[in-house]
């Protein structure tokens, strides 16, 4: 290949500008007719200005080198002319070839270009194309040579080859092929990959367009042809279709194509790529089957059901018809899994599915939704109303009547069945399934093998509950609660001795929400622990604030939930809150319900013991309404039993009800527990409780729950129970006379007036009960024969309601059996007859009052002893806890002391510790060797051990290092006083060898 180079020569200055063009190849051809004169500056200038690497060589030496060549090889022209030969530019491996080419040119062979490897000045090698021409200079033969750097061309060619190979490999790996179509001629060039897609031999040349269409199945040909011919320029097209492979089988391909147009807007070229995706689609189909089928039962799963249900709801909407969705769930599945194992449980699920399938038609859809849950979608048009749906649902529930035989075991399980109707309940697939499941859960609550239809009202309640839970969670995060406090009073003194903290929630949307509504939701949602901790902290802080304001101290009662008490560190948490709020533990009480005691009894006992040990009072709330168990009261450290409002009665209550209340009070007292009655609303209830020796009360009779400011005002005013109701009130002896004859009542009052009694009268048994409720009665003297209620009946009732009264009958009529029974039952203290002897009657009544006062005193002493014993037991328990804590502290301090001694012993310098009396309290081995040759100096006086200069240093204790000499050795000595913040007192002397690096002061 020949190169021609043209250069322009500018005009000489004197002449008109002119352009001369030189063709070096032509010049070379004309050399025989007109030999090149090297001295001709025009030729030299022409070669130097050509932007191609050129040189002229003659006899193996450079004659002329242009700047472009010198730059290509990294030399200057002078270097090349002086010390470089033409062959030096080529790799040695090409020297022989170059010599042969020169010889061939010299012999007249035609010129042609060839490739060689060239070497630059820096040693780098590059590929070049050499083109030489034989010329004559000054009549002698020479060579004009052009060297062209073709490195980039070679790299591009290699990249193109690699790209082509990569394309071939990519097509083979991706099972794809490409084709280029000339739309003007209809010729199609196929890649090797395209031929492989069709299973054809690699084409030798172009094929026609019909070659492709002939390999499309006839049923898909119109579709493929219409899309292929409708492709617009610059807009890629992608679709799937089938082709006929050379082996006769049909394959699925992904077809991508794009057409291009020329500058005139004419469509000239189309590029097509086909990818064989047959295996991929088959795998997707298999995966779809797996993802929509339950592995255990082989039935459609939840996803498949939802797809089918979605299609069914849309079709029913179009056709205006309804259909049911039935969902059932197996009970006892967890038990079956534990007893049969996972494999056996899987066989049970498969057996259940088989039985359900037997009840249904082939057109019905039975799906296994997971665990023990199944769903049934009946075929379109088979069930039109709720009655028919319930009939089928009942048949499905009936399959569980007989047990299942699994692994030689008879397994009996039951189910709950829920039914939802589309579109009555909903026409959305997900919502319809959710509603059928809600009905199923309701069926579970109703019992075994029950069927329940979805009820929208229950759904609305569930939605409202969820909304309340969300609002409650937000309120918990924002602390949007308040506390009210209901006073608790001592029935002996009438004073306020405590309050119960009651949480309240005023929601912006709902207003005041009752704790009865939101506390159960908080427990289910896991919010009760943070809410309970907020109540504890707020209540303790408020109690501390009342005391800081100078108000009388009282006990703050706070309710503890089951979740709180189950926390392993609840005692530590409460103690931390008490320390944080600076509240003495004796002013905090926690209330627990009986339900807390059912589970985790060992843990509960341990937690209550820890709370009791730190001084917190423990109350058992709502006693008698739940899992009442006397062993709880006997074993657990409970201080107060709170009887529920259902046990708080008045004088109109039945005797057995009052007996139950008195029994609870007496039982608690026998176990040295105090009793607090809550829900006290009337004076009659209060007097009845006082008569039965209840210790404390709480209720609306005294005060409803009030804000903290109202409690403070109540304490400042010293509000308390009415004086006339209190047990401690100093009062006259009170006698109740009951007789239906007014003259007898008047005579008795005249007779007893001189005795100083406070006499209360009643003309019937009912009126007598009312007087008992209104007054503190000591002795009752009743007639026997009265209308409506006999004296014995009245006194029996009085005994039930007011057992501390002394009851006597005064009657002229003797009903021996009833009187005897009443005396034996203890309802009557004495039976007196009419007419009476005045002196003897006064004597009997005086004796009755003395008996009453003696019993009252005995009860008072027993109560005082019981209280003292309980307080002593509490003190002993707290003392034991304190001693245990002190032992732990001593043990820890001993361990720390041992560690300190070990550390001081390991110091490689003499160390002496002495107390405030200058007695040596510690000395390490280094110091003993220095001061007493290994003998012990513990307990010795410091002045007997240390030299004078060290004694002076110890006296000053300035903390500075001083140079001293002891036993011929130089030390840096320092003496420092032990920190006053530690329990240790005294000083520490350290002698560091003078070579040691001293720490900065």
Backbone angles phi, psi at 911, to 5 degrees: -135, 130
Q: Which residues contact 400 (CB under 8 A, 6 or more apart)?
A: 330, 413, 414, 415, 449
**Tokens encoding 30:** 């004309």
Q: From CA 197, how far away is CA 277, in angstroms rounded?
A: 10
Q: What's the distance, Cα to Cα, between the start and end of the chain in Å?
A: 93
Spatial CA neighbour of 306 closest among 382, 385, 367: 367
Question: Which residue in this structure is represented by tokens 């003495």?
Answer: 584
Are 649 and 711 part of one and the same domain?
yes
What does the alpha-carbon distance between residue 89 and residue 73 come to, in Å, rounded to a whole number? 8
The three-state DSSP-derived secondary structure of 617-664 is: EEEEEEECCCCCCHHHHHHCCCCEEEECHHHCCCCCCCHHHHHHHHHH
Compute how many other C-beta atoms are within 10 angstroms of the C-beta atom of residue 841.
19
Contact 153, 128 (CB under 8 A): no
Decide if 96 contacts 116 (C-beta within 8 A).
Answer: no
CA torsion, ordered 723, 729, 732, 738, to nearest 10 deg: 60
Domain that holds residue 337: 299-454
- Please enumerate in sequence order all residues whose Cβ is within 8 A of that of 644, keeping only pairs 6 or more positions apart, or say none: 622, 623, 624, 625, 678, 679
As beta bridge partners, residue 252 has: 242
Q: What is the pLDDT of residue 34?
A: 46
Return d(Cα 76, Cα 188) in angstroms, integer: 55
Q: Is residue 474 part of a domain?
A: no
Write out 737-790 in H/E/C secondary structure: EECCCHHHHHHHHHHHHHHCCEEEEECCHHHHHHHHHHCCCCEEEECCCCCCCC
**Quick one: pLDDT at residue 9?**
31
Residue 894, in any domain of the structure: no
User: What's residue 644's pLDDT?
Assistant: 80
> Are both 544 and 689 inside the same structural domain?
yes
Alpha-carbon span 384 to 310, nearest angstrom:
18
Q: Which residues contact 799 (CB under 8 A, 6 or more apart)?
A: 805, 807, 825, 826, 827
Q: Are residues 693 and 746 in the same domain?
A: no
Residues 767, 711: one domain?
Answer: no
- Bridge partners, 141 (sequence order): 136
- pLDDT of 14 reads 42
Query: CA 418, CA 441: separation in Å to the nearest integer?
Result: 7
* Contact of 675 with 668, CB cutoff 8 Å: yes
224 with 367, same domain?
A: no
**Helix-helix angle 456-478:429-446, to 10 degrees:** 90
The two tokens of residue 9 are: 């020569």
What strands lie across the sheet with 125-137, from one edge to the other? 61-65, 54-58, 140-149, 125-137, 114-119
- Whether the CB-CB separation of 242 and 216 falls below 8 Å is answered with yes
Please give the biggest Cα pair distance in the chain.
187
Residues 136 and 63 in one domain: yes
Q: How far apart are the C-alpha atoms of 266 and 696, rounded to whole Å? A: 105
Structure tokens at 88: 């030096």
Task: Select from 678, 702, 725 the last residue of a domain.
Answer: 725
How many whole angstroms separate alpha carbon 825 and alpha carbon 832? 17
Q: Classify residue 854: in a domain, yes or no.
A: no
The pLDDT value given to residue 19: 34
pTM of the model: 0.46
Let me know if residue 315 belongs to a domain. Answer: yes
**831 and 934 assigned to the same domain:** no
With b for 16 or more beta-carbon neighbours within 10 A and e for fewer, the 152-165 pattern comes to eeeeeeeeeeeeee
Question: Exposed, middle or buried, 278 (CB in 10 Å: 0-12/13-18/19+)?
Answer: middle
**pLDDT computed for residue 458 by the predictor:** 66
Indicate the residue among 725, 742, 775 that finishes a domain.
725
Per the CB < 8 A criterion, the answer to whether 241 and 220 are in contact is yes
Query: Which pLDDT belongs to residue 628?
Result: 57
Spatial strand order of the sheet with 415-422 comes to 365-370, 373-377, 323-330, 415-422, 450-453
User: What's residue 369's pLDDT?
Assistant: 92
Instruction: Give the pairing type, strands 962-966 and 920-923.
Output: unpaired
Task: Report yes or no on 952 lying in a domain.
Answer: yes
Count how many domains the chain has: 6
Q: Say yes or no: 52 and 117 in one domain.
A: yes
194 in a structural domain? yes
Q: Which residues of the chain have pLDDT under 50?
A: 1-37, 39, 651, 728-729, 996-1001
545 & 439 share domain: no
Domain end point (choices 679, 697, 725): 725
Residue 129 sits in a domain whose CATH number is 3.30.450.20
Cα distance between residue 369 and residue 376, in whole Å: 10
For residues 717 and 741, membership in a common domain is answered with: no
Distance set, CA 530 to CA 533, 541, 573, 578 (Å)? 5, 16, 12, 17
Residues 303 and 344 in one domain: yes
Q: Which one, of 673, 500, 675, 705, lies nearest residue 588 by Cα?
A: 500
Please report whether residue 70 resides in a domain: yes
Tokens of 497: 């001795």
Same domain, yes or no, for 167 and 143? no
Residue among 419, 870, 490 at smallest CA distance from 696: 490
Cα distances (angstroms) measured from residue 632 to each of 602, 629, 825, 975: 11, 6, 32, 62
Q: Which two tokens stand for residue 631?
A: 């062993």
Is residue 95 included in any domain, yes or no?
A: yes
């Amino acid at each position: 290949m020949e190169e021609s180079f043209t250069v322009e020569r500018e005009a000489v200055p004197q002449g008109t500008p002119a352009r001369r063009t030189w063709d070096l190849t032509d010049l070379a051809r004309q050399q025989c007719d007109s030999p090149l004169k090297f001295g001709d500056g025009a030729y030299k200038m022409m070669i130097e200005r050509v932007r191609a690497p050129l040189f002229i060589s003659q006899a193996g030496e450079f004659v002329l080198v242009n700047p472009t060549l010198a730059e290509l090889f990294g030399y200057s022209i002078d270097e090349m002319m002086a010390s470089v030969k033409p062959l030096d530019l080529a790799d040695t491996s090409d020297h022989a070839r170059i010599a042969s080419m020169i010889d061939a040119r010299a012999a007249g062979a035609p010129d042609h270009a060839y490739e060689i490897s060239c070497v630059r000045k820096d040693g780098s090698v590059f590929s070049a194309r050499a083109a030489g021409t034989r010329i004559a200079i000054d009549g002698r033969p020479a060579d004009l040579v052009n060297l062209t750097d073709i490195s980039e061309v070679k790299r591009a060619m290699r990249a193109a080859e690699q790209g082509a190979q990569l394309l071939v490999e990519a097509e083979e790996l991706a099972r794809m092929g490409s084709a280029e179509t000339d739309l003007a001629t209809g010729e199609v060039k196929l890649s090797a990959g395209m031929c492989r897609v069709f299973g054809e031999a690699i084409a030798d040349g172009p094929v026609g367009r019909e070659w492709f269409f002939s390999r499309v199945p006839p049923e898909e040909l119109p579709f493929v042809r219409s899309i292929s011919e409708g492709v617009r320029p610059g807009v890629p097209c992608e679709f799937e279709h089938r082709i006929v492979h050379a082996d006769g089988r049909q394959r699925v391909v992904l077809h991508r194509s794009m057409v291009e147009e020329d500058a005139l807007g004419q469509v000239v070229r189309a590029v097509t790529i086909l990818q064989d995706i047959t295996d991929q689609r088959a795998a997707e189909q298999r995966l779809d089957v797996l993802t929509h089928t339950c592995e255990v039962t082989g039935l459609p799963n939840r996803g498949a059901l939802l797809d089918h249900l979605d299609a069914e709801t849309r079709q029913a909407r179009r056709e205006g018809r309804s259909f049911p969705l039935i969902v059932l769930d197996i009970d006892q599945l967890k038990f079956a899994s534990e007893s049969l194992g996972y494999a056996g449980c899987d066989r049970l699920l498969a057996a259940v599915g088989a039985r359900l399938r037997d009840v249904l038609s082939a057109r019905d859809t039975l799906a296994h939704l997971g665990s023990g849950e199944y769903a049934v979608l009946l075929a379109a048009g088979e069930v039109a109303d709720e009655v028919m749906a319930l009939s089928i649902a009942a048949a499905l529930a009936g399959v569980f009547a007989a047990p299942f035989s699994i692994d030689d075991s008879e397994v009996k399980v039951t189910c709950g069945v829920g039914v939802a109707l589309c579109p009555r309940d909903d026409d959305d697939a997900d919502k319809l399934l959710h509603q059928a499941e809600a009905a199923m859960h309701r069926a579970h609550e109703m019992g075994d093998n029950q069927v329940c239809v979805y009820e929208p009202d229950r759904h609305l309640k569930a939605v409202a509950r969820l909304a309340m839970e969300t609002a409650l969670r937000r309120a918990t995060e924002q602390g949007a609660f308040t506390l009210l406090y209901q006073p608790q009073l001592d029935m002996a003194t009438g004073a306020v001795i405590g309050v119960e903290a009651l949480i309240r929630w005023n929601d912006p949307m709902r207003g005041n929400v009752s704790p009865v509504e939101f506390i159960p939701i908080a427990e289910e949602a896991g919010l009760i622990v943070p809410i309970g901790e907020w109540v504890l902290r707020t209540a303790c802080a408020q109690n501390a604030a009342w005391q800081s304001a100078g108000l009388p101290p009282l006990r703050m009662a706070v309710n503890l939930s089951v979740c709180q008490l189950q926390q392993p560190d609840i005692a530590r948490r409460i103690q931390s809150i008490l320390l944080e709020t600076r509240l003495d533990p004796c002013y905090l009480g926690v209330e627990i319900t009986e339900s807390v005691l059912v589970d985790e009894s060992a843990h509960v006992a341990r937690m209550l013991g820890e709370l009791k040990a730190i001084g917190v009072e423990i109350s058992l709330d709502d006693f008698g309404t739940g899992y009442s168990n006397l062993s709880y009261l006997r074993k657990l450290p409970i201080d107060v039993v709170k009887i529920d409002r259902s046990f708080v009665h008045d004088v109109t209550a039945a005797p057995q009800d009052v007996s139950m209340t008195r029994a609870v009070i007496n039982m608690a007292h026998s176990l040295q527990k105090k009793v607090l009655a809550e829900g006290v609303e009337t004076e009659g209830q209060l007097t009845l409780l006082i008569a039965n020796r209840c210790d404390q009360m709480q209720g609306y009779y005294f005060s409803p729950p009030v804000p903290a400011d109202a409690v403070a005002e109540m304490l400042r005013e010293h509000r308390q129970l009415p004086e006339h109701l209190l047990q401690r009130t100093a009062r006259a002896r009170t006698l109740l006379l009951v007789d239906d004859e007014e003259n007898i009542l008047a005579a008795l009052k005249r007779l007893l007036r001189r005795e100083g009694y406070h006499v209360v009268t009643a003309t019937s048994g009912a009126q007598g009960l009312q007087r008992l409720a209104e007054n503190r009665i000591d002795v009752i003297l009743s007639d026997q024969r009265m209308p409506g209620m006999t004296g014995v009946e009245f006194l029996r009732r009085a005994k039930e309601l007011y057992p501390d009264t002394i009851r006597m009958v005064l009657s002229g009529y003797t009903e021996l059996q009833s009187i005897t029974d009443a005396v034996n039952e203890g309802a009557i203290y004495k039976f007196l007859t009419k007419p009476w002897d005045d002196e003897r009657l006064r004597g009997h009544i005086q004796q009755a009052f003395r008996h009453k006062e003696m019993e009252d005193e005995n009860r008072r002493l027993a109560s005082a002893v019981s209280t003292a014993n309980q307080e002593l037991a509490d003190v002993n328990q707290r003392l034991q806890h304190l001693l245990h804590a002190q032992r732990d502290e001593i043990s820890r301090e001993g361990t720390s002391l041992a560690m300190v001694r070990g550390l001081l012993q390991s110091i490689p310098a003499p160390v002496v510790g002495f107390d405030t009396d200058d007695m040596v309290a510690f000395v390490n081995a280094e110091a003993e060797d220095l001061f007493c040759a290994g003998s012990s100096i513990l307990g010795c006086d410091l002045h007997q051990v240390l030299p004078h200069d060290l004694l002076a240093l110890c006296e000053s204790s300035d903390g500075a290092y001083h140079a001293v000499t002891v036993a011929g050795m130089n030390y840096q000595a320092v003496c420092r006083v032990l920190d006053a913040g530690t329990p240790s007192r005294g000083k520490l002397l350290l002698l560091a060898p003078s070579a040691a690096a001293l720490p900065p002061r």
